[in-house]
Amino acid sequence: MADLSIDFAGIKSPNPFWLASAPPTNTGDQVMRAFDAGWGGAVWKTLGNPIVNVSSRFGGIDYGNTRMMGLNNIELITDRPLEVNLREIREVKRRYPNHAVITSLMVETKEEWKEIIQRAEEAGSDGHELNFGCPHGMCERGMGSAVSSEPKVLREIASWAVEFATKPVIVKLSPNVTDIVEPGEAVLESKAHGISLINTIKSIMGIDLDRMVPLPRVGDASTNGGYCGPAVKPVALHMVGELTRHPYIAKLPISGIGGISNWRDAAEFIALGCTSVQVCTAVMHYGYRIVEDMIEGLNDFLDSKGMKSVLELRGRAAPQYKNWGELDLGYRVVADISTDKCIGCQLCYVACMDGAHQCIHLPGRTEEQARKAGHTHIPKLIPDRAVTAKGGTPGARVPFVDEEECIGCNLCQLVCPVSGCITMKEVASDKPHETWDDRVQRGADFVPGGLHVTEMERAKRNG
């Protein structure tokens, strides 16, 4: 089995799977049960001056048969006394010395930062995560995401923490910014030892249309909260990618957070450059034991790739994340529909006709019928193939892809309900490898049919 142990800026952990700072890390009992289940580390629910929470606190959004695709949270930092939390941290570290216990911290003044860091370290904290990401409640008091949105303030406060701490300092960033690189560079300038991201996204989960109150409802009102869960994973991956391709920020270890629910999600974050990953919503949904499948799945994946350590996976995909202008304009794929698997539902046809490029045809139509349906290019031959797949629509025909017109957008594959029925096959291209940046560099970035053509024709007409 591959070695899953990691060293995150000096914080050692038996595996890269950490619990994120949230309700699942609210007490010592919870963290110890999580460690027994297999979690390698835990970021304690944020410590600071205790607050008062409201009821209710969570809102969920479903999609189809998927429950809680996204979760909205208006809960704040710990509402338990600091002394109680510190006592429990001390006990957890005594019982689990080889697991990572990181304290998430959020206070206001420089003196408060000094005191809380000192007390957290006395309790045995292995490192500190500065909560500069909370998007509700605390940011209204000048903390949380209010800090991430002001790089100068972030740099100053993080510098205080680095000055006061003897353990590694990790800065947790908010996604509620225009450019994640700006706060990332501020972390670098502060001399902090690592970055974690993303925190939750500002959101309103929905509206109770009977009471006309946003959700989750607190009496006769509500507020914006933090959005998390599987739905935010693409946003999180993008922001991680922006930092891991930065020539200097990439040198800092990154803890990836956002929609991680299984080993494959974790592997994707690690492949993009993360050293550890943090999980919250999936644990709130399914419990601590999901880490068993995560550990087994990641081990099996690394073994299948011949990797002896999870560190070999780290950053493998990062060099392939590029700007649009660096992509090969000559590369081409087209859709290919399996006659053996197609059930004749025609979802691919509808999607292509109304949402893409009208290159999928239904057999048995006359040219007049095809043009009336919206086609402008009619292939000379449209094979008439009957649906033979088990569970297929009786009498249905397999749609036909006009490869000459197909632009390889992938939409048909994405809407197809049958796994493996539609694949995108690579086809030979008569175009050389060329990027848009290449064209710009040699002055060949003019494309006929734009405003420049209009201006040129106008100039010709005007003599």
Which residues in the chain are classed under CATH 3.30.70.20? 324-426
**Model confidence at 143: pLDDT above 70:** no
The arithmetic mean of pLDDT across residues 353-371, rounded, is 95
Name every residue whose Cβ is closer than 8 Å to that of residue 259 and which is 6 or more positions away in sequence.
228, 229, 230, 231, 232, 233, 234, 236, 265, 281
Which residues in the chain are classed under CATH 3.20.20.70? 6-320
Catalytic residues: 134
Cα separation values, 342 from 31, 213, 346, 409, Å: 48, 45, 9, 19
Question: Considering only CA atoms, which of 210, 230, 229 is closest in space to residue 220?
Answer: 210
**Model confidence at 137: pLDDT above 60:** no
CB 267 within 8 A of CB 298: yes
Lowest-pLDDT range of 163-177, 226-240, 371-385, 445-459 = 445-459
The arithmetic mean of pLDDT across residues 173-192, rounded, is 96
pLDDT, tens digit, for every residue of 261-281?
Answer: 999 999 999 999 999 999 999
pLDDT, tens digit, for every residue of 329-355?
Answer: 999 999 999 999 999 999 999 999 999
Cα 233 to the center of its chain, rounded Å: 2
Rounded Cα gap, residues 121 and 103, in angstroms = 9
Residue 461, judged by CB atoms within 10 A of its CB (0-12, 13-18, 19+), counts as exposed
pLDDT at 98: 98
The CATH class for the domain spanning 6-320 reads alpha beta
pLDDT, tens digit, for every residue of 74-90?
Answer: 888 999 999 999 999 99
pLDDT, tens digit, for every residue of 429-454?
Answer: 888 899 999 999 999 888 888 887 77
Residue found by looking up tokens 């209710």 in the block: 56
Cα 357 to the center of its chain, rounded Å: 29
pLDDT at 462: 82
Fold type of domain 324-426: Alpha-Beta Plaits (3.30.70)
pTM: 0.94
